[in-house]
Amino acid sequence: MKADPIGVATGSHYIDGDHACAEGAIAAGCRFLAGYPITPSTEVAERVAERFPFVGGQFIQMEDELASMAAVSGAVWGGAKSMTVTSGPGFSLMMENLGLATMMEVPCVLVNVQRGGPSTGLPTLTGQADMMQARWGSHGDYELISICPNSPQECFDLTIEAFNLSEKWRVPVMFMMDECVGHMIEKVVIPEADKIEITPREFYKGDKEKYRPFRFDGKGIAPMVKAGDGYFIHITGLTHDERGYPVINEQAQDKNVRHLVDKILKNEDKIRIIEEDQIDGADVVVVSYGITSRVALKAVELARKKGIKVGIMRLITVWPFPESRIRELAPKVKAFVVPEINLGQICLEVERCAQGKAKTTLVSHAGGWVHDPADILKAIEEGVK
């Protein structure tokens, strides 16, 4: 379906990534946001608070991030398209109810404008150190989708994509911005509403007795209903069967948990969004995401001037990880260079998938600022040797 024009601020704007993310959410049809103020993400909630009264949205500032994430799941079962937004410490607090949303298969978007950690860390400065938390932050086995934008324009475009993916796979999508992208002001072009494709939620409309809120046969994702439609659903965070009823044994656990993992991993190729440039014949491939992918461009440009064959692989969806693509490339290249604003997270995945067939070099940065392209260039030069 096409976007509802009421929420689409068509035109050229000069705004930061946080505001662009808010506009993307409203354009995507998000009409519920529960959040709690935290730097550097607050501007997303502020813009939504200002815009929602004019588009028929429901904004609430909750008492903390635990409540925000719980309210998002509640609102989705009430039928709303919902999101929350936070950063570092708030992201940690959301992990509990992110697990609930995962178990209840709640389509929603969780925006994390990353800052330096751990703990209070660097509230106003950038980081990319929550990438593993985006995957493993809540307890138990599960898989989610994570998206990393690298510009305000992408904060708009990819927020819509995040909602679309969440509805399609009935899964929380982590929108992993960072302080640089969040506060960077650039031109953002918002198209006409009829140019914006929206994935609607699939609602069940059949026989009430036959409705099953979950589907664990590996053949698809169960459609949803909303509370108040007379289906008398029961939805729990406990291990459950397809009716949603708790079943506390190992067989039920196997079915339920494998479904949560398989629906993402087995469809990685359908979910995957990556950008590649000059990969064929490359000796070194720079794998990057978020703001670092823009800094890496400079290093690649300098390396190419020196005659080095460098390819670029930019992860827009970081999770699920494009495992098969890295495996495919590993025997063909000498090295992967992975710059990231942390002390080594996604490089571990690259290294694992490369299976020793190519060298993996981390270019780390503890956070606070982006890389110096010279450091990435140095790693590229060493990679060709």
Does residue number 49 form part of the binding site for other proteins (CB under 8 A)?
no
* Binding residue (CB under 8 A) for other proteins from 9, 10, 46, 58: 58
Q: What's the start-to-end Cα distance of the chain, in Å?
A: 51
* Binding residue (CB under 8 A) for other proteins from 226, 294, 332, 378: 226
Which structure tokens are listed for 209?
């007795």
Of 37-45, 91-99, 123-131, 371-379, the window that binds other proteins (rule: CB under 8 A) is 91-99
Of 71-79, 288-296, 339-347, 357-365, the window that binds other proteins (rule: CB under 8 A) is 71-79
Q: What is the smallest separation between the CB atom of 75 and other proteins, expressed in angstroms?
A: 3
Q: Where are the alpha helices (DSSP H) in 266-345?
A: 268-271, 291-305, 323-329
The smaller minimum CB distance to other proteins, of residues 73 and 126, is found at 73
Does residue number 230 form part of the binding site for other proteins (CB under 8 A)?
yes
* Binding residue (CB under 8 A) for other proteins from 9, 10, 46, 55: 55
88: three-class secondary structure by DSSP: helix
Residues 348 and 136: their CA atoms lie apart, in Å, by: 14
Of 227-235, 261-269, 311-319, 373-381, the window that binds other proteins (rule: CB under 8 A) is 227-235
Q: What is the smallest separation between the CB atom of 229 and other proteins, expressed in angstroms?
A: 7
Does residue number 201 form part of the binding site for other proteins (CB under 8 A)?
yes
Does residue number 71 form part of the binding site for other proteins (CB under 8 A)?
yes
Does residue number 31 form part of the binding site for other proteins (CB under 8 A)?
yes
Q: Are the C-beta atoms of 52 and 186 separated by less than 8 Å?
A: no
Beta-bridge partner residues of 284: 310, 335
Of 110-118, 199-207, 335-343, 373-381, the window that binds other proteins (rule: CB under 8 A) is 199-207
Which structure tokens are listed for 214?
């979950």
Which structure tokens are listed for 174?
């982590």
Of 61-69, 170-178, 255-263, 308-316, the window that binds other proteins (rule: CB under 8 A) is 61-69
The smaller minimum CB distance to other proteins, of residues 237 and 368, is found at 237
CA angle (157 as vertex; 175, 80 as ends), nearest 5: 65
Binding mask 231-270 for other proteins (x = CB under 8 A): xxxxxxxx------xx------------------------
Q: What is the smallest separation between the CB atom of 60 and other proteins, expressed in angstroms?
A: 6
User: Cβ contacts of residue 276 below 8 Å, gap of 6+?
Assistant: 311, 312, 313, 314
CA angle (199 as vertex; 193, 205 as ends), nearest 5: 120
Q: Are the C-beta atoms of 28 and 50 separated by less than 8 Å?
A: no
Q: What is the smallest separation between the CB atom of 106 and other proteins, expressed in angstroms?
A: 10
Does residue number 96 form part of the binding site for other proteins (CB under 8 A)?
yes
Does residue number 6 form part of the binding site for other proteins (CB under 8 A)?
yes
* Binding residue (CB under 8 A) for other proteins from 53, 118, 140, 331: 53
Does residue number 56 form part of the binding site for other proteins (CB under 8 A)?
yes
Residues in the chain: 385
**344 Rama class: left (phi>0) / alpha (psi -120 to 50) / beta:** left
* Binding residue (CB under 8 A) for other proteins from 39, 41, 42, 73: 73
Which structure tokens are listed for 198?
């929206």
**140 Rama class: left (phi>0) / alpha (psi -120 to 50) / beta:** left
Does residue number 51 form part of the binding site for other proteins (CB under 8 A)?
no
Q: What is the smallest separation between the CB atom of 340 and other proteins, expressed in angstroms?
A: 32
Which structure tokens are listed for 203?
């609602």
Does residue number 347 form part of the binding site for other proteins (CB under 8 A)?
no
Does residue number 68 form part of the binding site for other proteins (CB under 8 A)?
yes
Residues 206 and 215: their CA atoms lie apart, in Å, by: 15
Kindly list the distances between the CA atom of residue 102 and the CA atoms of 4, 170, 219, 334, in Å, as whole numbers in the listed order: 28, 9, 19, 38
How many of the chain's residues bind other proteins (CB under 8 A)? 55
Side-chain-side CA neighbours of residue 277 (13 Å):
13
Q: Are the C-beta atoms of 296 and 286 separated by less than 8 Å?
A: yes
The smaller minimum CB distance to other proteins, of residues 100 and 155, is found at 100
Contact set with other proteins (CB under 8 A): 4, 6, 29, 31-32, 34, 52-58, 60, 62-64, 66-68, 70-82, 96-97, 99-100, 200-201, 203, 226-238, 245-246
